[in-house]
A and B are shown apart, each in its own frame.
Chain A
Amino acid sequence: QSALTQPRSVSGSPGQAVTISCTGTNSDVGGYNYVSWYQQYPGKAPKLMIYDVAKRPSGVPDRFSGSKSGNTASLTISGLQAEDEADYYCCSYGGTQLYVFGTGTKVTVV
């Protein structure tokens, strides 16, 4: 099973909105509402930002939001801040492997 497809990088200015896509198949992203998103700074452990497509854990800023349409999930960061510069990974339950992660997207604040 291949990794979910994410853009290699996205960038935006402070205050702008950026959206990261995560494309899978009917067997994973499209088959379940179990997409999660993780933020990772270099050399650090991942941190959960979104779960079950659009739910936000306590403590995660509300500028982070998630959605899904068909086989593609999306993470939107509204009001981009310098501290949002990091790598972001989507993850879906399902498919031939129990869980599959995305290829990862580097968010740059320019």
Chain B
Amino acid sequence: EVQLVESGGGLVQPGGSLRLSCEASGFSFGDSYMYWVRQAPGKGLLWVSRIDNDGSSTKYADSVKGRFTISRDNAKNTLFLQMNSLRVEDTAVYYCAKSGGYYMDVWGKGTTVTVSS
């Protein structure tokens, strides 16, 4: 079964840091591009970042560029999102998703990040 399981969310103060993880199973992780997508409470989906299959190419939404870093460990089938200089507006459920092409074909259940003092 193809599965993505996120972890690492929690409560953090503005300006703080958090590292999210996404453990993949059931597919060839090292052959797959991966995404992070977030959803603020009561709001819509927002694409955050994309990484290619070997980690050599990364892309970010303007709202997180320079603060967030996407990375991966193909030996451990794990995707990461390092989030620094967190803002209140970064509060959201963060989903990792597998790329099937120019779309997200498998999603994790998400991990909640709350930025508040």
Task: Name A's B-contacting residues (CB within 8 A).
Answer: 1, 3, 32, 34, 36, 38, 40, 44-48, 51-52, 57, 89, 91, 93, 96-104
Contacts and interface: CB of A to CB of B under 8 A. Distances in A.
Given A45-B108, A45-B109, A51 B101 contact: yes
B104 interface: yes
A52 B103 contact: yes
B101 A52 contact: yes
Closest 6 CB pairs of A and B: A34-B102, A36-B103, A99-B47, A51-B103, A45-B107, A101-B45
16 contacts: A1-B62, A32-B102, A45-B107, A45-B108, A46-B95, A51-B105, A57-B105, A89-B44, A91-B45, A96-B62, A98-B50, A98-B59, A101-B37, A101-B44, A102-B44, A103-B44
Nearest to A97: B61
Contacts of B45: 38, 40, 46, 89, 91, 101, 104
Q: Classify the secondary structure of B's interface with A.
A: strand
Interface string B83-113: 0000000000001000011111111111000
B82 to A, nearest CB: 19
